[in-house]
Amino acid sequence: MYHQPVLKNRRTLLERSEKFISDIYFTDCNLRGRLYGDSCPLESLTSFLSSKRIPFAEAATQSFTPHRVGETFGPTWWTCWFKVTLKIPESWRGKEVHLLWESDGEAMVWRDGQPVQGLAKEGEKTSYILTDSLKDEEPHSITVYVELACNGLFGAGKGSMIAAPDPSRTYSVQKAELVVFNRDVRELLTDFEMLIDIVKQLGEQEQRGYQALFTANEMVNLCDPANPGPFDEARNLARKFFSQRNGQSQHTVHAMGHCHIDTAWLWPYEETIRKCGRSWVTAIRLMEKNPEFVFTCSQAQQFQWVKTWYPGLYSQIQQYVKKGQFIPVGGTWVEMDGNLPSGESMVRQFLEGQRFFQQEFGIYCKEFWLPDTFGYSAQLPQIMQGSGISHFLTQKLSWNLVNVFPHNTFFWEGLDGSQVLTHFPPGNSYEMKGKVEELVNTVKNNKDKGRANHSAALFGFGDGGGGPTQLMLDRLQRVQDTDGLPKVQMSVPEQLFSQLHTDSALLCTWTGELFLELHNGTYTTQAQIKRGNRQCETLLHDIEAASSLALWHNNTFQYPVKQLQELWRLLLLNQFHDVIPGTCIEIVVEDALRYYEEIRTVGAGLLRDACSALGSKEQKGDSTALFNSLPWERNEVVQLKDGAGQPGLALVRVPSVGLATVKDTQPATPVSVTVQADGTVLMENGILRTTINKDGSLASLCLVNENREAISDGCHGNQFVMFDDVPLYWDAWDVMDYHLQTRKPVLEVVKPLQVLLPGGLRGSVSFTLRISDKSTITQEIVVDAMCPYIKFNTQVEWAESHKFLKVEFPVRVRSPNATYEIQYGHLQRPTHRNTSWDWARFEVWGHKWADLSEHNFGVALLNDCKYGYSVHKNTMTLSLLRAPKAPDANADMGTHHFTYAIMPHAGSFQEASVIQCAYNLNFPLRPIQRSPDTAPWSAFSVNTTAVILETIKQAEDRKGALVVRLYESHGSSVTAILSTTLPVREVRHCDLLERPLPTQQPVQITSDGITLNFSPFKVVSLLLFF
């Protein structure tokens, strides 16, 4: 009797199975070659090209001309619309019929005027299902439209993904036909694929891998690709294998469909709208066929776009949200950068996002979803908790270049002690494909084994959209509980985090920021975007404050609710994590700068309207008053125009959050400017004394009352330095540690130091340096009367390539840590490089100021639009400009204006009011035309410098109420009194979504004001009722 030989060669059996399903080898006789049956040409294919992205209704009325498959069209960013007329043969009755469409670019199928399916070769979606099983009563003659964007999932980079787009690229359709789809072949292919992957992933040491190998080999023996008869028997072998179950202790993977869509990156904002449409309609089709399928989706802005552009699709999304399959997550307007937006901007991300999800779907998100951002501020846990969110999901720290982050599931503790349960999916991706390797890595990479036995697996094509496919779902379905692999269950975030909470007794806690040890260049790239962000944050702050006060000073004034929301949403949009970091293509930069200009233009009008409603109610006069939006009195020099329109200077005193007419006052100590015999210039204002060299560097900077020199011996302050800046790959993103070895001082003087203003209220000098034959620096150094810092008003003509410009201040301070402002507070980072964790922070981010202090003396570095810093030993460095060439070949080229300041101080930076001075540098006093006898008045003040009144705005949906937001800025526990001259009758604590806190009683109001208790870095929001 014949016995089939037992084969022992693992390699030949494995390769045999691989070749049996290969799409390259032996397709004439293997299983893959039978995926499609009969084919049929289209009845007709016509097209028209559009340079703009137009709606379907407009496209359908255009004149279409015949189109041949293989014919090229373009260029990049155009759209080619196709009209596809087809007729399914009668003989295909009972067959599954697809429109097979293989093309460059990204496509959307439209049928009966509605979007029905996204197509993209890169996203493994190349067919549209016309019918699952053709019936006589179904239409056989069909017309569909295909909207094809002339760009890929990842844009149109010339030569590499992140290169600048190729503007002249052409595109083509390679295949467009009707085909019979053999579903039984697809199912069998998936069985084989999963078995083969199990063999590979479990390796030669695992018995289970050999069981998968022999199962696959027996299936090959059974199958004749030309005869589907034995397919069921082969599939039964696979089912038997997959149904052999795990033990109870096995790790559980919570699979969630996802489609990370960058709101702009290698494509413009407008194309993202279509990416959302293509990706989300595809997810809806999957939900129709797979009732267990769950799809998580973030970013309220993208929902808003789809609601506007695809109302029919949006209605379907609302239905599936109710069913619990389409899951809005994240709670923010966009997935913003985690470092650069201000604290108030981060609050508004949640306020706008959570309110949108509540209004549209009746839900508040419970988890913050930020998988792809370049670091995470230490204030985010408090902001999350204040926005109704106690869970956080990301994975970006798996990209760390130096140190491996030690946890996947842990409690993250923020600056104020707030905690959120945090999960990094151990598969280290937000775009898995449901493959065995990913599931195995999810278990293997879990750094909290024994502490957490559940984790997330987010599957679906991402970044450029695409999302999940039926094949991904089929893969996961097969291995829901298969011995040798983790258990897999389709899940929602709430279920995952609930399970993690239940088993959280052994979880560790990470305190402080989550610093990404990569992409440090994003703190500096695209300086105009950074400047636009800071200036617009400042402007919106002032509009809200002035408008809030105007409500109570002028009963005809209308708070600009709608306009402010529109401006805030534009600002929040630009804080997306590839826009404000500067890692986007040039047309996105142009869009972003246009949005900033719109905010400035519209915002200036709103501020003007609000300010004109402030002050006394008598007729407006021709005297200039100034509005101060900050919560402390300001006594400073400002530049104003006189009645003839000529600029002049005035020393003014304006009360806290209030208004005062400009009075002509003189300083106790005027500024003196002295040109010395050696060409240096000595400037002094009674607080500071500085000697400036002919090249603009500071030879000396002395704190007069302390007789304390701030500049290190033998060194110069305000030293410009250039570095070579060639990263390993991510050009706009990365600055590498080795750039520090290429330091070159900028020394060539074009215009030596000369006096511009001779003193009195202001003294200033200017000079020009040559960086190269293409770039120059012109700077005005300003000393104002009664000002504790020196300003450096800077203009750079910048035309470099892969260079990095910084300015250094070597100071006479010794400290192991420097302090940096972040959202609603500050934190310390080391000035040494003892460990790899220290070294990885060679370039860090901060906001308006950084400080290096020893006991009783320090130096602060302030700025009005910069975010990149480095403090190593005693050298304080501010990063100014980069010159990457990808993905924007013209990044940062042109003219730049910015101001920074140096501020030596006695005592701590808290005692010296460094924080207040940085605010003053960023928030200008706003001029208003008033009657000369307008009395000064103040709306709000706080009795301690530790507490800052950050925000004054009208409450959402409450016309008769204001919201004020305060935070403790020193890192201290303190009791503060908020005083107001407004007729407040009731005060209630509220969260960041402006919902009254049910556990808090109304705050008592006394004749002194409103008494509030703060712990370090605590943010407090109040509802004020009138």
User: In terms of DSSP H, where are the helices of 421-514?
Assistant: 436-444, 470-478, 493-502
Cα–Cα distance measured from residue 729 to residue 715, given in angstroms and rounded to the nearest whole number: 35
Cα–Cα distance measured from residue 831 to residue 853, given in angstroms and rounded to the nearest whole number: 11
Q: Which residues of 275-290 are buried (b: 16+ CB within 10 A; e: fewer)?
A: bbbbbbbbbbbbbeeb
User: Is 332:353 a contact under the CB 8 Å cutoff?
Assistant: yes
Q: Which residues of 207-246 are buried (b: 16+ CB within 10 A; e: fewer)?
A: ebbebbbbbbbebbebbebeeeeebeebbebbeebbeeeb
Provide the CB-side half-sphere exposure for 805 (13 A, CA). Answer: 29
Angle between helices 586-612 and 561-574 (to 10 degrees): 150
What is the separation, in whole angstroms, between the first and last Cα of the chain?
A: 99
Cα–Cα distance measured from residue 235 to residue 243, given in angstroms and rounded to the nearest whole number: 12
Angle between helices 470-478 and 269-289 (to 10 degrees): 50
Looking at residue 311, the DSSP 8-state letter turns out to be H
Cα–Cα distance measured from residue 36 to residue 54, given in angstroms and rounded to the nearest whole number: 34
Q: Is 372 a residue of the active site? A: yes
Phi and psi at residue 465, in whole multiples of 5°?
90, -170
Residue recorded with tokens 């989550």? 514
CA dihedral 537, 538, 539, 543 (to 10 degrees): 100
The neighbour count for residue 293, using CB atoms within 10 Å, is: 23
Q: Which two tokens stand for residue 679?
A: 């060409």
Q: Which two tokens stand for residue 896?
A: 């730049």
Cα–Cα distance measured from residue 550 to residue 606, given in angstroms and rounded to the nearest whole number: 12
Q: In what order do the strands lie in the sheet with 844-845?
A: 744-745, 719-724, 803-810, 875-882, 868-872, 844-845
- Between the alpha carbon of residue 451 and those of residues 341, 397, 445, 532, 756, the distances in Å are 34, 20, 13, 45, 66
User: Is 683:760 a contact under the CB 8 Å cutoff?
Assistant: no
Cα–Cα distance measured from residue 947 to residue 968, given in angstroms and rounded to the nearest whole number: 4
Cα–Cα distance measured from residue 383 to residue 336, given in angstroms and rounded to the nearest whole number: 14
**Three-state DSSP string of 258-281:** ECCECCCCCCCHHHHHHHHHHHHH
Cα–Cα distance measured from residue 811 to residue 717, given in angstroms and rounded to the nearest whole number: 8
User: Is 989:1001 a contact under the CB 8 Å cutoff?
Assistant: no
Q: Which distant-in-sequence residues (6+ apart) come within 8 Å of 531 by Cβ?
A: 864, 865, 896, 897, 898
Counted residue by residue, the chain has a size of: 1026
User: For residue 322, what is the enclosing H or E element?
Assistant: helix 311-323
User: In terms of DSSP H, where are the helices of 435-526?
Assistant: 436-444, 470-478, 493-502
Which among 339, 342, 365 is positioned nearest to 352, based on CA atoms? 365
- Between the alpha carbon of residue 418 and those of residues 102, 243, 498, 614, 652, the distances in Å are 51, 44, 19, 39, 41
Q: Which two tokens stand for residue 861?
A: 């570095």
Bridge pairing between strands 36-41 and 79-87: unpaired
- Exactly one of 372, 463, 474, 734 is catalytic; which is it? 372
**Which residues are annotated as catalytic?**
372
